[in-house]
Amino acid sequence: MKRIERSLTLFSRAVRVMPGGVNSPVRAFKAVGGTPLFIRSGRGARVTDEDGGEYIDYVMSWGPLLFGHAYPPVVSAVREAALSGTSFGAPTEREILLAEKIVSMVPSIEKVRLVNSGTEAVMSAIRLARAATGRRIVLKFEGCYHGHADSFLIKAGSGAATFGEPSSPGVTPGTAADTRNADLNDLGTVKEVFKACRGEIACVVVEPVAGNMGLVPPEPGFLEGLREMTANDGALLVFDEVMTGFRLARGGAQELFGVVPDLTTLGKVIGGGLPVGAYGGRADLMERISPEGPVYQAGTLSGNPLATAAGLAMLGAIEKEPDLYTRLDRLGARLEAGITRVLAERKIPGSFQRVGSMFCLYFSRGRVRRWADAAAADRERFRKFFHRMLELGVYLAPSPFEAGFLSAAHTEADVDLTIDAAREALS
């Protein structure tokens, strides 16, 4: 049993001054029980907690650390930028350089606006979509997460074509009335909504690879179907690539699957671990954003010098490693094969789902294709598995509904140690 006395002490202090003792809900370990680990440091593929325990890390700050913790080029870039000033509230050259880099790498983006978070990026993209189409309704998918803006905290109503209900206190019924839900990987439910709301849908927003109900890839033809339906109806297609952007391919999931959206939201990797977000798309749409157009959006810290320096270092490193995504995919395949083999050996129902360097293990009797499948998986078995893996030195996402992430800092030896730990944990 690993010692966590320091984490226990810190958590008891934290709950007195912060809601739930954390600044983001999943960190509280509510889904798995127990006391969250307080992390002291990270280097490469490992993190060290406040009691000195070391873990192979598959959270990777929820995705942005493509090259691992304390990646030297990013650390150096941030240090150099900080010496010149941390914020100006005025334009800097690095903002242009980062925007140019994003435009050159992402197929759908002709112009881009930098913001401070993924939530802000998606919220702003939705406002732009409504302004550009003159329509109000947003169609999203059950189980996909697009940040905590009011429009996205909506659970499904009694049917796909009915407006949803607020899933958080503080979200008004009026906001819920402008949101519709459909089932991921089910074009039939999407067609129902379009039929019921003909000419009213401003946009369809989707994670092209869903990473907030575990890891659910798109079924063949699903993204293509969304592209066709939105184009035929005059609605916009918005890809939420906050998680998948630059992680699954140089140009994100849209490059990987060959489907080009109207608008794309980004985050995580483009900040190299610092707070950042962005939204972009066709020039004729982005030119509607203030001050060029009438759609208002602003931010004091948007394009912050530290975040843009980190992002430039990260994207520059991606460009220098042409085999990066092939290497990450090989590591992911090794982990997938090993965990799948362990499940078969132990005769435990499960589905290890993966796209490139993103993955999730469901204790389910079949493949997970949508939220209802994910919700039916064995959460109690996951809870026990999570804590046993933690004892064995492997830090997984503390929820059965979150994706795991590999990095270029992980090695085959790390993966093999993880498979061995899983074999013991599932014994």
Active site residues: 145, 240, 268
Alpha helices in 46-164 (DSSP H): 72-84, 93-105, 118-133
Considering Cα of 400, then 141, then 246, then 301, what sign does the dihedral take? Answer: negative
In 3-state terms, what secondary structure has residue 332?
helix
For residue 181, the number of C-alpha atoms closer than 13 Å in the C-beta half-sphere is: 24
Question: Among 222, 307, 288, which residue's Cα sits nearest to residue 259?
Answer: 222
- Any idea of the CA torsion for 315, 395, 382, 13, to the nearest 10 degrees? -110
In 3-state terms, what secondary structure has residue 243?
coil
* DSSP 8-state symbol, 295: B
In 3-state terms, what secondary structure has residue 128?
helix
Residue type, 79: R
Question: Among 174, 67, 125, which residue's Cα sits nearest to residue 407?
Answer: 67
| Rg, C-alpha atoms of the chain | 21
Q: Which two tokens stand for residue 291?
A: 């001050």
In 3-state terms, what secondary structure has residue 183?
coil
C-beta contacts of 224-233 below 8 A and 24+ residues apart: 224/259, 225/187, 225/190, 226/187, 226/190, 226/259, 227/259, 227/260, 227/261, 229/187, 229/190, 229/191, 229/194, 229/204, 230/201, 230/203, 230/204, 230/262, 233/194, 233/198, 233/199, 233/201
d(CA 349, CA 203): 38
Question: Among 279, 274, 268, which residue's Cα sits nearest to residue 242?
Answer: 268
Q: Exposed (0-12), middle (13-18) or buried (19+): which is 118, by Cβ within 10 Å?
A: buried
